[in-house]
Amino acid sequence: MAFVTAAYLVAAALFAAYALSLAARQRLIAELSEATRPPAER
Amino acid sequence: MRLLLILGITLMLFGLTWALVLAPTELIQGPPQRIMYLHVPAVLTAYAALGIVFISSVLFLWRREARWDRLALAAAELGVLFVTMTLVTGSLWGRPVWGTWWTWDARLTTTLILWFIYVGYLIVRAWAPGERGARAAAVIGIVGVLDIPLIHWSAILLRTLHPQPTVFRPEGPALPASMLIPLAINLVAFLTLFLALLTLRVRQEDTLARLVEILEGGA
């Protein structure tokens, strides 16, 4: 059963890594959005 | 999109719980056969992702519209994710059943080549941004898909450790319903989650493109 557990953990880790990369890109979008707002609105 | 994401995660939790708890243990392989419920949906989802890379790359080269390139990039990233999952879960299945983590047989080798092709695609995207990199990547995205039929036929035409197809075959699936149903649920779950992540990623690329356009316009 150790191999099955390892396979399921690897799949979960890959999904988690992808979710983290999405979150990092979302932070970049938030920073760029802030930079594109007119100074009066900041 | 959020609904699709919740549906995908829920289906996956349901399907994988079924696979681990309710599905019968295979008589010859024992528990490691339960890796099938991850391995098979992962590879079929990878094929779907790379099929989208192929179609959107053709449309990008034909129409020269950046939205097709953004779709191809998002699908390629997910394609690499699912091919990686296929290779690692396959290795973890092979060790207890075949007695080896890896062997250079036809199906494993052609799948590894597929992984290298699309990692190459992502490297081109990272190192050659802009129109030129997008065009080069589109060519890789189109040519790379030709490896998928090779992977499929490798287990049928060549001598390989990999089993013959047990689901998609002319005479119908060889699996009993008690294994086929959880496998089908997991396949639907993987495809739903893939679509949700693809939509999310494409939206990010669209927003980034708009923001870069505003920033460059203002500079």
Give pLDDT, residue B85.
98
Q: pLDDT band at B60, cuts 50/70/90?
A: very high
Per-residue model confidence as pLDDT tens digits over B89-105: 999 999 999 999 999 98
Q: Is the pLDDT of residue B219 over 70?
A: no
User: Given a cut of 80, is residue B119 above it in pLDDT?
Assistant: yes
Phi, psi angles (nearest 5°) of residue B167: -110, -60
> Is the confidence at residue B143, as pLDDT, over 80?
yes
**Per-residue pLDDT, B218:** 63
Q: What is the mean pLDDT of residues B51-58?
A: 98
B214 → chain A, closest CA residue: A36
Distance CA B182, CA B62 (A): 41
Which chain A residues are Cβ-neighbours of B84 within 8 angstroms? 14
Closest residue to A10, CB basis, from B32, B88, B211: B88
Distance from CA of B144 to the nearest CA of A (A): 22
pLDDT at A42: 63
How far, in whole angstroms, is CA B165 from its chain's centroid?
17
User: What is the value of ipTM here, to two decimals?
Assistant: 0.90
Give the chain A residue whose CA is nearest to the CA of B17: A8
Q: At what angle do helices A2-36 and B177-218 cross, to 10 degrees?
A: 20
- Within 8 A of A3 by CB-CB distance, chain B residues are 31-32, 35, 92-93, 95-96
Q: For the residues of B92-158, what is the DSSP string, one character each?
A: HHHHHHHS-S----HHHHHHHHHHHHHHHHHHHHHHS-SHHHHHHHHHHHHHHTTHHHHHHHHHHHS
What pLDDT, in 10s, does the model give residues B151-200? Answer: 988 888 887 788 777 777 777 777 889 999 999 999 999 999 999 999 99
Q: How far, in Å, CA of B80 to CA of B99, rounded? A: 26
* Residues B196 and B8: beta-carbon distance below 8 Å: yes
Spell out which residues of chain A touch residue B92, defining contact as CB-CB under 8 Å: 3, 6-7, 10
Dump pLDDT digits (tens) for A1-42. Answer: 899 999 999 999 999 999 999 999 999 999 998 888 777 766
Per the CB < 8 Å rule, is B38 touching A11? Answer: yes
